[in-house]
Amino acid sequence: MNRTIFRSILLTSVLIMIFSLAATLLVVNSNFEKSEEDRLRAEIKVLKDAVEDGGLDYLTSLQVPDFRITWIGAGGEVLFDDSVDAGELGDHSDRQEVRMAQLYGYGSSRRYSSTLSTKTIYAAGRLDDGSVIRVSMTQSSILLQFLTLIPSMIIVFIISALVAVVVSKKLSDRIIRPLNNLDLDRPLGNDTYEELSPLLVKIDGQQKEIAFRIRELEARRKEFAEITGNMSEAFILINAEESIISMNNAANRLFGVGEEAIGKSILTLERELSFINAINRAQGGIRSEQRYSRNGQEYSLVISPIMEGDKLLGSCLIFLNITEKAHAEDLRREFSANVSHELKTPLQTILASAELLSAGVVKKEDEKEFLDRIHNEASRLVSLINDCISISELDEDAPMHSEEVSVKTIVSEVEESLQEAASKRGIKVNSDVDELTLRCVPHLFYEIIYNLVDNAIRYNKPDGSIDISLKKRSEGIVLKVSDTGIGIPQESLERIFERFYRVDKSHSRASGGTGLGLSIVKHAVLYHGGTISAASELGKWTEVTATFPLSLQA
């Protein structure tokens, strides 16, 4: 801007200088011409008298380098010319200055000769005999006199131009300085040109408006970030160009990225074909929903286009974690398959035995064995069905009726009902139970202790022992059932709580197991807000520990 102002001032100054010079030249030129004409007039006066007296002789003797002198007779014929032979010149009576001189005694004129590109000033005076003496001067000769002025004019021009440069620079600096020093952060605090006031008031108003809008936007951004940040579902917003414009914390964790992902293409996070297709569909205005797996987790991915009228603004991606649901579905499917399989075996045995008995092919002495087999398998079916009912009840997650019960009473009931089975194998059952009253679901709590002690008997060695302990500790109410039995291999310890998992299938079946006992126990413990774990040394001992929260105590 400084340069533009400087150039404008300089240009204006130079133009004014050139214009002034030209005007001066014109004025000087016209004055010069005027004075030349005056000179010619004076010359005519002198010549008139001299020619009256001396005639042609005077003229031929005259040496005047500046002028051309012509003497024209009363009839217009040229009597003398100091530049051209008079005989060669034609009639001059038609020349304006000659005509004027003949009429008024004195005449003058200016003529432009296009052939010579010069202007000539003529002055003529009438002599007493009617002839006319004329002097003329060409402008080129006038200009020649101007030429003498040129060097001094150039010097004046250069000096003026230099002064114009310095003054222009100073002026432009002075104009620009207040503009450069403007404090745009506080527009109204500036003491500058009055003409700038409307502009500064406008800037001030706009700055206030911008600050207000920024605060408002920031507040909205924070609000949005807080809402989406606390969502447990991963959430991503993309614009119409498929660039990420927002990602919440859950989405950052899901894709293992941070703030740096903002502004990048969504395809930098995932390039799987069905994902790309879903993004394309959404960007085409079509909502879609699909399964998506990442980091061993299952998600239901919903991609919805965001439209404003017909215009697509972008899309929104929401990842709903359905891992547990998917896992539960898998378990249910697996469970149904296992149950059918487990039911089939005893039913086949019952059917086969019954067929043999009814066909009368079984010897009398073997009949009891067949009937016992039918009884055992039928009992197994009943246990299996009962266990299935328990599991389904627990699976439903419906609230069950809880009561205050004495743990000592429950443990005694379990001991009593398993007494026969234990003594059959010579197993000794010891119990150390605190006097505690718990608010729990009695039949579930019974089932927990029953199944653990039942396992401790069935997987014990003959003449082994069992210790039941139920104590209030700082970490919670701790139930431990340990035995001196066959133990569990380390790799199976985690899995024994799974449905139908059995370390040794034939042992389990032979001992009347269904493979569901421990999973019922785990479910029941979890229902009461507890945790369960098992420890064992193969061939030596097993200990199952369930810890319940202290809040269970009534």
Residues contacting residue 400 through CB under 8 Å, at least 6 positions apart: 393, 441, 444, 527
Residue 97 or 415 having the CB closest to ligand ADP: 415
State the nearest-atom distance from the C-beta of 483 to ligand ADP, in Å. 5
State the nearest-atom distance from the C-beta of 545 to ligand ADP, in Å. 12
Residue found under tokens 């801007």: 1
> What is the helix (H) or strand (E) element at residue 318, kind and residue range?
strand 311-321
Q: In 3D, which of 441, 522, 532 has the Cα closest to residue 479?
A: 532
3-state secondary structure 61-77: HCCCCCCEEEEECCCCC
Q: 203-230 burial, b for 16+ CB within 10 Å, e for fewer? A: bbeeeeeeeeeeeeeeeeeeeeeeebee
State the nearest-atom distance from the C-beta of 344 to ligand ADP, in Å. 17
Residue 46 or 382 having the CB closest to ligand ADP: 382
d(CA 346, CA 354): 12
State the nearest-atom distance from the C-beta of 460 to ligand ADP, in Å. 7
State the nearest-atom distance from the C-beta of 337 to ligand ADP, in Å. 17
State the nearest-atom distance from the C-beta of 517 to ligand ADP, in Å. 3
> What is the helix (H) or strand (E) element at residue 298, kind and residue range?
strand 297-308
DSSP state string for 137-192? EEHHHHHHHHHTTHHHHHHHHHHHHHHHHHHHHHHHHHHHHHHHT--TTSGGG---
Residue 187 or 487 having the CB closest to ligand ADP: 487
Q: In 3D, which of 410, 451, 453 has the Cα closest to residue 430?
A: 453
Binding site for ligand ADP (CB under 6 A): 451, 455-456, 459, 483, 485-488, 496, 501-504, 508, 513-519, 542
Residue found under tokens 């040229």: 78
State the nearest-atom distance from the C-beta of 515 to ligand ADP, in Å. 4
Residue 258 or 512 having the CB closest to ligand ADP: 512
Residue 418 or 496 having the CB closest to ligand ADP: 496
Residue 131 or 451 having the CB closest to ligand ADP: 451
d(CA 367, CA 372): 9
d(CA 82, CA 148): 27
Residue 267 or 538 having the CB closest to ligand ADP: 538
Write the burial class of residue 360 (CB in 10 Å: 0-12 exposed, 13-18 middle, 19+ buried).
exposed
Q: Kindly give the pairing relationship between strand 465-473 and strand 476-483.
A: antiparallel
State the nearest-atom distance from the C-beta of 451 to ligand ADP, in Å. 6
| 267 residue type, one letter | L
Q: Kindly give the pairing relationship between strand 288-294 and strand 297-308.
A: antiparallel
Residue 125 or 513 having the CB closest to ligand ADP: 513
Residue 479 or 496 having the CB closest to ligand ADP: 496
Residue 254 or 411 having the CB closest to ligand ADP: 411
State the nearest-atom distance from the C-beta of 492 to ligand ADP, in Å. 7
State the nearest-atom distance from the C-beta of 313 to ligand ADP, in Å. 55
